[in-house]
Amino acid sequence: MNENKNWGKRLAYIGIPVVLAAVILRVVLYYFKSDGFSGISIMFPVLIIGTLLSALLMSGFFAAWVYQDCKKRKDDGILWAIIVFITTPFIGLLVYFLRRSEVKRVCTACGHPVSLKANYCEECGSKIENKEDFTNMNNQRTHHIRFIITGAVCMVLMITCLTGFIVKAAAGSGINSDAASNEKVWNMGSIRMNYESYVNGVWKLDFKSASDGFVAEEKMTIQNAGSDCLYADISCGTIPEDASLTLYLVQGDRVKTFDVTNLSEPLSYPLADFENGKLYVRLLIEGVGDTVSVIDIH
Q: Where are the alpha helices (DSSP H) in 126-265?
A: 131-139, 145-171
CB 169 within 8 A of CB 48: no
| Whether residue 31 is found in the same domain as residue 83 | yes
Please report whether residue 183 resides in a domain.
no
Of 9, 135, 104, the closest CA to residue 63 belongs to 9
Residues 16 and 79 in one domain: yes
Residue 150 and residue 198 in one domain: no
96 shares its domain with 240: no
Q: What is the pLDDT of residues 259-272, one digit of tens each?
A: 999 999 999 999 99
Together in a domain, 78 and 155: yes
Using alpha carbons, select from 255, 248, 250, 230 the residue that is nearest to residue 286.
Answer: 248
How does pLDDT run across 241-261, given as a tens digit for each residue?
A: 999 999 999 999 999 999 999
Q: Are residues 152 and 257 in the same domain?
A: no
Q: How far is CA 247 from CA 42, 55, 89, 216, 251, in A?
A: 29, 40, 47, 10, 14
Distance (Å, rounded) from C-alpha 279 to C-alpha 203? 13
**Which range marks the domain in which residue 36 is found?**
2-101+137-171
**Residues 146, 49 share a domain:** yes
From residue 143, alpha-carbon distances to 64, 71, 72, 298 in Å are: 12, 11, 9, 69
The SS3 call for residue 53 is helix
| Between 6 and 247, the higher pLDDT residue | 247
Separation of first and last alpha carbons in the chain: 66
∠ Cα 132 134 140 (to 5°) = 100
Is 202 in the same domain as 239? yes
Backbone φ, ψ for residue 297 (5° rounding): -120, 125
What CATH number does the domain containing 264 carry?
2.60.120.380
Strands (E), 144-201: 191-199
Which residue type is seen at 165?
A: F
Residues 172-221 have pLDDT tens digits of: 667 888 899 998 888 878 899 889 999 999 999 999 999 999 999 999 99
- What are the tens digits of pLDDT across the range 133-181? 444 544 455 667 888 899 999 999 999 999 988 887 777 667 888 899 9
Residue 182 inside a domain? The answer is no
Is residue 228 domain-shared with residue 97, that is, in the same domain? no
Residue 94 shares a structural domain with residue 32: yes
pLDDT mean over 52-66 = 88
CB atoms within 10 A of CB 148: 15
pLDDT of 100-113, one tens digit each? 776 667 777 676 77
| CA dist list (Å): 71 to 12, 66, 104, 145, 152 | 15, 9, 11, 15, 22
> What's the number of domains the chain is made of?
2
3-state class percentages of the chain: helix first, strand second, coil last, to nearest 5: 40, 30, 30
Distance CA 198, CA 78 (A): 45
Residues 42 and 143 in one domain: yes
Residues 151 and 197 in one domain: no
Position 106 in a domain: no
Name the average pLDDT for the chain. Answer: 82
Residue 179 lies inside a defined structural domain of this protein: no
